[in-house]
Structure formats: C-alpha cells, structure tokens
Amino acid sequence: MTNELIKQVFDLIKLNNKLIAIESPLQERLSFLTNLACECLPLDVNCYLWTLEDDGLHQLVVNQETLALQTVEQYQAIAKNRREHYFEILRFWKTTDLQGILILEGIFPWLGESNTDPDFFLTSEWIKSALINLKLYNHSCNKTAILLGSNATVSSDIAPEVPTIVQQLPNIEEIKTHLLQVLSDYSQVEIHATASAGVGMYLADIDYGIRQAFADREITPDELVEKLSVYKIELLKRIYSIEFLQPPATAIGGLELMQEAFKTYKRLLTTLAKAYNLRLPKGILLIGPPGTGKSYSAKASSAQLGLPLIILEWGSFRSYGNLAEYKLKNLLALVDRINRIILYLDDFDKGFAGDDDLSKRLAGMLLTWMQERTSEVLIIASANNIQWLPPELTRSGRFDEIFKVDLPNYGERHEIFKIHLARFDARFHNGGDAYTEDEWKRLLKATQRCVGAEIGVIVERAAVSTFCRMFGDDVLPLEKLPPLLIQLSALLAARQSMNPLAIREADRVESMRNIAALQGQPSSSIDSSIYSLGNVDIFG
C-alpha cells in the first residue's frame, strides 16, 4: 500500500512537480518515511524532513530498512541566527545548495480557507506566497517539496499549484500480502479470514491490533480474527464516532412490506443480479414519527442481508465545524473500502435543521458520492421531518425508495409486545404465548397510539414491578430462582404511568404522519390479524 503511494510521488516528480501534497494518517508516518528513504537510496536522492514541532531539519538515513534522522547543521546554524518565524525553512530551501526531497510536516493548517484572525491570515498568506515562489525559484533544480499531513486540505487559490495524493485504506489483497510477512505460519485460509477482519484499518493499525491480541498468550487464528474485529470496532468508534455492528439477530414486529424489500435487496447482491446489470438502490429513506422503529428496521436489514452495519448520527457532523467535510470524506472512503455494508444515517433531517452553508456542502458531498460510487453499499437514512431535507436529496435517483414508518397497528403491536416480553418471561420464548385473546385485545386497545419504543418501556417497567413484588432484599441462590411471570395487570399499570408521544404531541405527530404519507410508500400491509381494529371493540 505504502509502495503504491511512493510510486505516485515519483511519478509526479518525473513530471517536474516541485510542490506535492500528501495526505497520510499519522500512524502510517514511519512506514511512509522509511519507504520513501529506501526508494531514494538507489537513486542517489537525498531526503530531508522538517517538522513544525521543533523547527529542525533532518536527513533521512536508512540502514537495513531501519530509519534514522541526522541533523542538518547547515540549517540549524542559519535558522538560529536569522529566525524571524517558524517558517524560515521555506527561505532556506529556496536558496540552499542542498538538493533532493524536502518533507514539510505540520504546515497544512495555514493552507486552508481564509481565517478571520488577522495574524493568522497574514501568516497564511505569507506561507502560500513562499510556497509558490519556492516552486518557481526551483523550477530547474533537483528540488521537490512535499507537504505531509493527515488532512491535506488546501485553499482554492493554491490548489491548482499543488497536486494532492491521498493514501487510501488498503484493500483486502494488500492486507493479505502484508499479513503473509507478519503471520508467516498461517495458512492461506487463515490469512484471508484475518485480512477480512482487518479491512477498514491501515496496516499500522492492523499490526498494533495483532500485537495487542498476542500480548498475553499465544492464540488460535480464530481467536485472532475475533480479537482483531473487536479492536477494529473500538478503533472506528474513536476515529469516526460511529457504531460498527456485525449482523445482529434482530426480530422485528410488523413492517412486512419493508422487510420484503430487504429480501429483494439481498438477491441484488448475487452474481446473477450483476450479470443482468442490476444493483442495490442508491438510497433508502425511512420517514415517520420518533420511536416507530426506523433504527430498529436498519438493524433488521443488517440481519436479513447478512451485512455489517455502520450507524452514524448525521447531525453530529455539524459539531466538527471546519473539519466536517474532511471527516465525511474519510468516512465515505472507509465505507467504500469495506464494501458490502449498510450505512445507516440516523436522524438525517437534524443535520439540515440549520439550513446553513455547512449543511449544503455536506449534502453535496454525500450526493456526489452516492451518484458516483461503485461499491455495494446500502444507504439507509431516517428522518422525522422530511421537510427539513433539501429537495435534491429526495428526488428520484437519489433515495430510490422512501418508506413511511407509521404508528404500529394492532397486529404489529401484538408482535412487538411478544418480542419484548420474551426478554423477561420464558413463556414467550420461541413464539410462545401466555395471554388469552380477550386479554390481548384489552392490552392492545389500552396501548393505541403507542410506538414500538414505548411498548419496550412498558414491558420493562412491568418486568421491574413484577420483580420487586416477587423479591425483597434477600439474595437467593440463582439455581432456585422462580420464573418471572409478567401479568396483564402489570402491563396495564405500566401503560397508565406513561403518556405516549402521539397523544402528548398529537398535532406534531399527525403532521409528520400526513407528510410521510404523501412522500413515502407504506412499510406495513393492511392489518389482517385477529387483533385488527375491526375485531377490537375500541369503545368496550
């Protein structure tokens, strides 16, 4: 992976580019510098590194693939006597008789778009001017300046003068090639399984995850795959503020039409579908009131398709400010590299509540990526207020499918209750039941306009109250514990202690439902269960 990056660097140098920007993550820095110095050695090209942190210039020296830094005294003497600011290196490199490649690390923050602070602005403009003059002054010299950093964002006024190379995440074949050296005693099958667990991480991260896994004892290849997967989930959460979930075993009550659509998407992932040029929809939008099961539906789709799920709170990007576009670019690159994954954008509408320039830029990036991507990624977004979304996001060809996720009907509430009751009451395991038809009708009538999330709370409150009635403060042996039997009365009492959102905020919820009905197709079929509204006396 890094060798491909080095090749791109020398291809630009051969085209006489004197100024090159490289975006490379910090954890890959040592590997990049070592590989660059190794490539320079047979070409008899000197390679130098300057860092903002100590304003020191060092020559990169490689001995048996081990990198060492040698201080360049010539710069140290000049900088000490004539230092007016931390960027004396730009004047030095323009006039020095040293030749080769100069790597400037830590300079990108001054190369972005304009800042309102006068001192920052003046320094930024001076650096940009100095870099352009450096390029012009050294046009006929064997000198190249490389700008190196983890975020190679440059302002539009100098972007045409600075070609940018981005170090991409390694693909599975590149990871397998690397692992053959690290895990030389592993079989091809074991290498492939380990590489699959490492997709989405840089090689340095994979190496660290492997060292961490072997820190305490020798482990089997299967254990390594499991530990590396856990490490990746933790790492992605820290870097991207996302949840990364393997396909869960998620049961879902109702929403039959949406679930049928998910089954269709699974068939579109087959090689047979590819032979007919069929593909996944570009995006799926779930709209409706809060708590109706939109997030749960995304998890259910992950279970049905057998694909991992990335959950991203879209509105959180606003908190990154000027780094928002950089964060989104990296996340979309991650999703592309992992491939065959579901990207779920939770509360998608909240990211556009401000209707500001940042929201529009992020929307533009997402739309461009959705239009141009070739990876097999299923995009699911949820929204409570579709009117907050820019019109260009909801037109045909962007989000191909829009589903209305409504308040659950009687039959769906019956299924949702049974799913939640099975968490606490063994009588409901494996589709079992403990209530009569009349008891169910009474409960379903009492929970009209309750959403799935509220039903979950009702069941949990009933379980807590049942537990508290069964036991005092005495601790009993676990093997002698009686079963927890949740009675209808406990559920009805829990319902009385709650004021559902659809009743408490009736006007807002009805507005959301009406707009969703106009924009989206139904996700549930007509209730044909024995508990349908026609079979329940709502006035009884």
Q: Topology of domain 2-166, per CATH?
A: Rossmann fold (3.40.50)
Q: Which pLDDT score is estimated for 146?
A: 95
Q: Which pLDDT score is estimated for 50?
A: 94
**104: helix, strand or coil:** strand
Q: In CATH, what class is 256-404?
A: alpha beta
Domain range summary for the chain, segments of one domain joined by +:
2-166, 172-240, 256-404, 410-450+460-512+523-535
Distances (CA, A) of 496 to 329, 439, 454, 488: 48, 16, 12, 13
pLDDT-derived band at 199, boundaries 50, 70, 90: very high
Which residues are CB-contacts of 365 (< 8 A; sequence separation ≥ 6)?
A: 325, 328, 329, 332
Taking 80 as the threshold, does the pLDDT of residue 355 lie above it? no
Question: Phi and psi dihedrals of 14, rounded to 5?
Answer: -65, -25
| Token output for 456 | 């979950």
Which residues are CB-contacts of 229 (< 8 A; sequence separation ≥ 6)?
A: 197, 246
**Segment among 47-61, 78-92, 390-404, 499-513 with least mean pLDDT:** 78-92
Distances (CA, A) of 5 to 11, 164, 175, 327: 10, 11, 15, 21
Q: Which pLDDT score is estimated for 79?
A: 65
Taking all residues of the chain, what is their mean pLDDT, rounded to a whole number? 88
Q: Which pLDDT score is estimated for 84?
A: 56
pLDDT-derived band at 371, boundaries 50, 70, 90: confident
In the sheet that 377-383 helps form, which strands lie side by side, from edge to edge?
243-245, 309-313, 341-346, 377-383, 284-287, 401-404, 521-522
**Long-range contacts for 460-466 (Cβ within 8 Å, ≥24 apart)?**
460/420, 460/424, 461/494, 461/497, 461/498, 462/486, 462/490, 462/491, 462/493, 462/494, 463/423, 463/424, 463/425, 463/490, 465/490, 465/493, 465/494, 466/490
What DSSP character marks residue 199? T
Taking 60 as the threshold, does the pLDDT of residue 83 lie above it? no
Is residue 370 within 8 A of residue 379, CB to CB? The reply is yes
User: Tell me, what amino acid is at 89?
Assistant: I
| Token output for 528 | 């044909």
Taking 60 as the threshold, does the pLDDT of residue 514 lie above it? yes
| Two domains, one topology: 2-166 and 256-404 | yes
Q: Which of 115, 108, 101 is nearest to 26 (CA)?
A: 108
Read off the pLDDT of residues 142-180 as tens digits, 9 standing for 90 and up. Answer: 999 999 999 998 888 899 999 999 999 999 999 999 999
